[in-house]
Amino acid sequence: MRSIFRSLFVVCLLATACAGASPPPAVAQEQPLEIRSASQPFKIDDPSAKTIGRLVWRGGIMMTANSRHFGGWSDLHVSPDGKTLTSISDEGAWLTATIEYDGEANLAGLSNARIGQLHGLDGRLISSKAEADAEAMARLPDGSWLVAFERNHRIWRYRTLTATPTPFEGPADLVRQPTNGGIEGMLALGDGRVIAISEEYSLQPDTVVGWIGTPTAGGRYQWRSFNYATIPDFRPTAIAQLPDGSFGMIERAFDMVRGVRCRVMRFDAAQLVAGGTVKAEELARLASPYAVDNLEGLAATKGARGETLLWLISDDNFNPLQRNILLLFELAK
């Protein structure tokens, strides 16, 4: 029965990925949101399990909400103090919430949530899927946000997520990416550099293209490319900088037999050089019966004991056979 369900799950996921789910109408205005959280088991067939690879389980939740706009979460930002979560959806919505913990500082739920819709350059809410497909976000040192969209590939800068954006100068070959395989991972470093990685755009076998954007005079950016090494079936969906300066990644794969699988990866900052090839190491591989879904967002913070915490969020594609889950792991030393 489990294999049959898993096959049906993947069929729906494939259909959604290829054809696109029917998006709900745009959120009319910013509004409060009630998120209902249920505990997410780490390993379905072993309640005592706490580790996988180099990751230690720190809690997970399955999320529903009193809004049809809740879902499709494609990237994630968690404030350095671990108190606030921000996410964007591939239907153009944004989400903020306060993170709740249990007595052992493990993830317990979300509260004080709000949801709204991103605006376009004309100041109006983005309403069409072709324009609203936000897949990656980054917080700049000045507190503003970069949002990368696919289908109509572009990067916009938002002073706040409720503001009207301005165009942001991206790589010259941004538009060469496959329609549904654009920038999936993006982050801004403390020195102002911006890192972006494409899901499917490739110039060399067994790699995808990434870019390093360096600020120059006049607010412009100089972009240089690098390659990110991939293995069959897996493609990057998120990137985050860890507290020690290295980088974490999520890579995702799915097929009819094995369902959804995700690799949690890490690479040293020294690998991130223009013209080079990043070869990340695998920290853990998530697949059934472990907690997993269509994981597309990653954030990293430092815990109260100085430990590195990794946050992962999933995109349910507004598909009833998928889930919105938020997972928290500690990186073992």
The larger pLDDT score, comparing residue 48 to residue 219, is at: 48
Question: Tens digit of pLDDT for each residue in 82-141?
Answer: 999 999 999 999 999 999 999 999 999 999 999 999 999 999 999 898 899 999 999 999
Look at residues 201, 216, 212 and name the one whose alpha carbon lies nearest to residue 273.
212
Q: What is the rounded average pLDDT for all residues in the chain?
A: 92
Question: Tens digit of pLDDT for each residue in 61-73?
Answer: 999 999 999 999 9
> Which of 20-29, 93-102, 177-186, 318-327 has the weakest average pLDDT?
20-29
- Percentage of the chain surpassing pLDDT 90? 87
The whole-angstrom separation of Cα 284 and Cα 154 is: 32
Q: Read off the pLDDT band of 219 (50, 70, 90).
A: confident
The amino acid present at 46, given as its one-letter code, is: D
Statement: residue 178 has pLDDT above 50? yes
The whole-angstrom separation of Cα 85 and Cα 328 is: 12
pLDDT of residue 6: 41
Q: Read off the pLDDT band of 37 (50, 70, 90).
A: very high
pLDDT of residue 27: 65
Q: Read off the pLDDT band of 333 (50, 70, 90).
A: confident
Statement: residue 12 has pLDDT above 70? no
What are the backbone angles phi and psi of residue 247, rounded to the nearest 5°?
-125, 140
The larger pLDDT score, comparing residue 286 to residue 26, is at: 286
Look at residues 222, 193, 226 and name the one whose alpha carbon lies nearest to residue 211.
226
pLDDT of residue 218: 83
Residue span of the structural domain in which 162 resides = 2-331
Show Cβ contacts of residue 314 under 8 Å, excluding neighbours closer than 6 positions.
Answer: 73, 293, 294, 295, 296, 297, 322, 323, 324, 325, 326
Residue 203 sits in a domain whose CATH number is 2.120.10
* Contact indicator for 249, 280 with CB cutoff of 8 Å: yes
Q: Find the mean pLDDT for residues 71-84.
A: 98
Q: Read off the pLDDT band of 227 (50, 70, 90).
A: very high
Statement: residue 24 has pLDDT above 70? no
CA 138 to centroid of chain Cα atoms: 10
Number of domains composing the chain: 1
Question: Tens digit of pLDDT for each residue in 100-114?
Answer: 999 999 999 999 999
pLDDT of residue 21: 53
How many residues are there in the chain?
A: 333
Q: Return the top range by mean pLDDT from 22-26, 211-215, 317-321.
A: 211-215
Q: Find the mean pLDDT for residues 46-55.
A: 97
DSSP string, 14-59: HHHHHH---PPPPP-S-EEE-EEEEE--SBTT-TT--EETTEEEEE
CA angle 187, 189, 194 (to 5 degrees): 55
Statement: residue 16 has pLDDT above 70? no
Statement: residue 8 has pLDDT above 50? no
pLDDT of residue 7: 41
CA angle 248, 211, 82 (to 5 degrees): 35
